[in-house]
Chain A
Amino acid sequence: MFGFVGVVSRTEQDLPAFSGNSFKFEKYKFHSNFKVFPEKEDGQTFSFSDGSIVKILGLFFSASNPPKSLNNFEEIADGAFTAFAVTPNGFRIYADPCGWRSIYFREEGNLLYITSNIRYLREYLGLNLEPVPERSIDFLCTSFIPGLETLTKNVFELPMGNVLEWKGQNKSTIRDYCRYDTLPKVEKTLPETARDLHAICLKNTENIKEASGKKECTVFLSGGLDSTCALSSAIDIFGLKNVKTISVHFGSDLPNENKYIDEAVKYFGCNHRYLEISPDSFLSEMDNLYRWIDDPIGDPVVMPNYMMNRAIDPKEQLVITGEGGDPCFGGPKNVFMSNSMQYSEIYCNGSNDAFLATSYLESFKRAYDDAAHLSRFSEPTFGRRLDKLQSNLNTHLTNPRWESFLDRLLFANKHLKSNSLILPKVQKTTQPFFRYSFSPLFSRTVIEFCARTPIQIKYPRLQEKFILKKAFLGKIPQSIIDRDKSGMRVPLRFWQGHKIKTFNRDVLLRKNKTLTSRFFNIKEIKALLKHPRPRQGLKSWMLSTFILTAKNLYEPKS
């Protein structure tokens, strides 16, 4: 399953018809109609003794050990799926435990609309899509819109590991069925824990292979620890001859990770390909790409992911990546946060939750510092929206169920960044090519492992990905274990002097000025494009891609 759109009603006559019905789901006075892409996709259906039924679309890991009841389904469900269930009491929609598949929903009267792509609501069901412009403030601060809300009015995103139970008009509840924060800690030795993690990654890779039905895969290799661990697992399960690898670079005159990529390729002996990306190659694809990004994602890494998907052979139907390493095992921005906490006394608001949320926003290194200037909203609207965002963040940052601050931080990152940024990025850049993408480092079993493992074992003294390194010690090149952390670095500022500046100006000012002015301060945008400032390249990119998303959603005919 790569996409779907559907509608649920309590009465058959209210159910709107739309073209190309894929399946209907009718029981217990719930009537539904869905279109699935590709249309042949049937998914799996399980019926239980209490009369409830669950239909699962996508990669469901427990197919060989099917659930015995709906409760059991909630206990064991893992993979990248969307599931619908009908019970005597309600219609349920399940988001998978990690958020691999985005689910958006909208309630209107006695109808519940559900989709994997917001624009399908307009394209297939004729719904009018309008933005809530103030939510652009969230985007400026974080480069995405965290939480339930999306940029689109009355359209919400179901959080990872949650189930929406709909009983009819205005009678819906959202519940966390994974409840990671209730899992007790398990004390094991370091070697045992490391072995467990390695076994989980291998099992995940087996599940990916079984659930997808693919015998070959392509690994997106960045030269970093996570993707190399994913490659190691892929080779163990698929076999070396069935694994291809690909990586990007931005030209020989710019710093790159090729040294580490070459070491990994040499170590494993895999079939590797380099893809060079430049503005000449991707600018013409930006409209296509951002047609798939339903809720704004300002991370420039979206682009190289899309370009790699575009470059590989259509026959390569399964992509494996190293997503999940940072939110599960610790990324560099946690250092910023822990330093903030240690020194909180020096700030006048250091003892309250506002400080926690603002430190978190500062750690993103996006446009938080400029948000008040770039936004077209001034006080009190700006302040109100920022307060709401901070409150949303603090729900996770102050979760009292986690004893350790770092556990709170890691799980906040999962719920916020993974759910609305990292995994949608993966899904939306593979979906156009009808391809599956998954990571053995990010599954329910991995998240449960993280929840159960004490901080002192998995992430002692802020040593990044300590337990992951132990798990793959001797299985990947030592140089990659020992290297400094490096994310994929897209040379936007370098490209400012080339075509990107013109592109930004075109998108933001020449072609879409009216749309831009609904969200951002035009005068400040002009200043941003003209005069250097911190993270100028990133901020310009964020704004341009936001407008591309908004244009495709709200002004598709323009």
Chain B
Amino acid sequence: MICPKCSHVTKHKDASTYRTASLRCAHCSYVFALDPKTMGFGDLRVLKVADKLSKGGRYFTEQQLACSCLLKRERSTGLGCLIPLFGAGFFAGIIAFSEAGLQSVLGILIAGLVVGLLFMLLGLCSDPPKNKIWLGVQKYCQEKSHPFLITPKSAKELINRLLKKDNLSFEDFHPDKVIIVDDVEFVALLLLNNFHRDSNCLVLDMNNVSGPFYDYFVERQTSDEKLAVFAVHDGGKTEETMVAQIRNNPKWIGCEEITDLGLTREALSNYKRGTWIHETTGMITDHKPKKIDEKYYSNCVYPIDCIPADKLNISLNACMAGGCVMLSPQMFAAIGTGSSHNSSSGDNSSYDSGHGSGDNSSYDSGGGAGFDDFG
């Protein structure tokens, strides 16, 4: 077990003593939140991912952290995993058949090849290893937290601070749109990552129909200067009923023309990346468009949080401006992750470009014109 505080390597048996129930670093007494033997991963992995997510001062949620903790080898039996399997099978076959007395070199090689292929086939047919990443990350967050972590509790506290603002005056406040999201953590995420400022957008939680910002929303929707209303939610069977719920709730005034930005089943059917969380079992699994029905039936959730933090704001902006849904090809085209840097299929369907679209300015990231707006 590697200590995230002092990097000392402590053996599991040394980390646990008869005096305490917790695991401790033998060098600095850091108390481990996770037991790698039961969880399959340790504190260091979570901390490294958390530090990476928060780079540049970005806040992240538990769901984002969990999704990002899923390792490549745990995602699926892709080529990266099959090649080592083949290798292992190949050498195992050579050794086995050599030991068995096979004399011909060619014969041994062919035997190794066959065993290697068998291993690959087994790998393809098997499910990825089961994990409890979601449960582990929640435990880590509860015990260790992180300066840029948004938990359900801290999100509520933050929003409460906002709602108790003294002398709230809306004279100098004039958003031109509102986005309704499905949980308070996502509200906190958007606000702390300055979405409201970059987009001049009011951000509300569908479960909270009170407070000065909600009152301001009602005032605008009953005036001549109505706000354009958007909704965004996680992918999943229950989640995609969000817009219908809003429409059916009389508290949400002026939402007859609400634009659903997703995540929709259709968009996810065409998008190849991301992760699903099964909140009951705690498993996190890789997203495969062909297995999407299975995910919807088993009440898994595709968190919108797993969109890269530095892309979330511009993606939402692009969808609001262009009337498309999140993770759609139109969205990727709008934010400029064009085909030249995309996945091997060469279509507009990924954030993978890593070039040219890391900017928050709508002019920089869209249309290919490459403008920097100087105001």
Contacts and interface: CB of A to CB of B under 8 A. Distances in A.
A343 B174 contact: no
A404 B370 CA distance: 37
A489 interface: yes
B374 A494 contact: no
A491 B360 contact: no
Interface string A275-303: 00000000000000000000000011100
B174 A463 contact: yes
A371 to B, nearest CB: 13
A66 to B, nearest CB: 39
B37 interface: no
User: Which has the most chain B C-beta neighbours within 10 Å: A339, A404, A405?
Assistant: A339
Interface string A314-345: 00000000000010000111011011111101
B174 A493 contact: no
B174 A301 contact: no
| Chain B interface, DSSP helix/strand/loop, else mixed | loop
A307 interface: no
B173 interface: yes
| Residue of A404, A463, A493 with most chain B CB atoms under a 10 A cut-off | A493
Contacts of A127: none
Interface stretch (B44-52, B157-165, B245-253, B259-267): B157-165
B73 interface: no
B371 A301 contact: no
Q: How large is the interface on B (under 10, 10 to 19, 20 to 34, 35 or more residues)?
A: 35 or more
Interface stretch (B112-120, B192-200, B290-298, B300-308): B192-200
Given A338-B172, A339-B173, A339-B200, A345 B371 contact: no
B359 A336 contact: no
A414 B230 CA distance: 36
Contact of A532 (B168, B175, B358, B361): B358
B99 interface: no
Q: How large is the interface on A (under 10, 10 to 19, 20 to 34, 35 or more residues)?
A: 35 or more
A194 interface: no
Q: Which of B196, B356, B358, B359 has the most CB of A within 10 A?
A: B359
Q: Please classify the interface of chain A as helix (H, G, I), strand (E, B), loop, or mixed, using the class held by over half of its residues.
A: helix
A49 B174 CA distance: 54
Interface string B331-345: 000000000000000
B14 interface: no
B369 A494 contact: yes
A491 B165 CA distance: 42
Interface in A202-248: none
Contact of B372 (A326, A462, A493): A493
A38 interface: no
B224 interface: no
Contacts of A345: 161-162, 164-165
B161 A490 contact: no
Contact of A365 (B170, B174, B371, B373): B373
A273 interface: no
A346 B162 contact: yes
B200 A455 contact: no
B158 A491 contact: no
Contact of B172 (A331, A346, A405, A487): A405
A255 B367 contact: yes
Contacts of A346: 158, 161-162, 188, 191-192
Contacts of B175: 339
Interface in B166-211: 168, 170-175, 188, 191-192, 194, 196-198, 200
B101 interface: no
Contacts of B173: 338-339, 342, 461-462
A537 B164 CA distance: 42
B308 to A, nearest CB: 14
Nearest to A456: B171
Contacts of A63: none
A487 B356 contact: no
B80 interface: no
Given A335-B174, A338-B172, A532-B355, A343 B371 contact: no
Given A343-B196, A365-B361, A534-B361, A491 B355 contact: no
A538 interface: yes
A332 B200 CA distance: 10
Given A300-B374, A339-B200, A255 B369 contact: yes
A487 B374 contact: yes
A535 B372 contact: yes
Contacts of B368: 494
A531 to B, nearest CB: 8
Contacts of A462: 172-174
Contact of B375 (A332, A494, A536): A332
A343 B370 CA distance: 31
A110 interface: no
Contacts of B165: 345
B374 A489 contact: yes
Interface in A453-469: 455-456, 461-463
A538 B361 CA distance: 12
B35 interface: no
B334 to A, nearest CB: 14
B347 interface: no
Contacts of A255: 367, 369, 371
Nearest to B198: A336
A492 interface: yes
A488 interface: yes
B174 A491 contact: no
Interface string A462-484: 11000000000000000000000
A493 B374 contact: no
Contact of A336 (B197, B356, B369, B370): B197
A326 B375 contact: yes
Contacts of A521: none
B364 interface: yes
A476 to B, nearest CB: 21
A254 interface: yes
Most B CB contacts (10 A, CB to CB) among A333, A342, A405 go to A342
A399 to B, nearest CB: 16
A462 B170 CA distance: 10
Interface of B: 56, 158, 161-162, 164-165, 168, 170-175, 188, 191-192, 194, 196-198, 200, 354-356, 358-361, 363-364, 367-375
Given A343-B162, A461-B173, A491-B369, 11 more contacts: A339-B197, A342-B173, A347-B192, A362-B194, A404-B172, A405-B172, A489-B371, A493-B356, A532-B355, A533-B359, A538-B372
Q: Which 8 A/B pairs are nearest by Cβ-Cβ distance?
A: A493-B370, A494-B370, A538-B372, A462-B174, A534-B359, A338-B172, A489-B371, A461-B174
Interface of A: 254-255, 299-301, 326, 331-333, 335-336, 338-343, 345-347, 362, 365, 369, 404-406, 455-456, 461-463, 487-496, 532-538
24 contacts: A255-B371, A335-B200, A339-B200, A341-B172, A343-B197, A345-B161, A346-B162, A347-B192, A362-B194, A405-B172, A462-B172, A488-B374, A489-B363, A489-B372, A489-B374, A493-B364, A493-B371, A494-B369, A494-B370, A532-B358, A535-B361, A535-B364, A538-B372, A538-B374
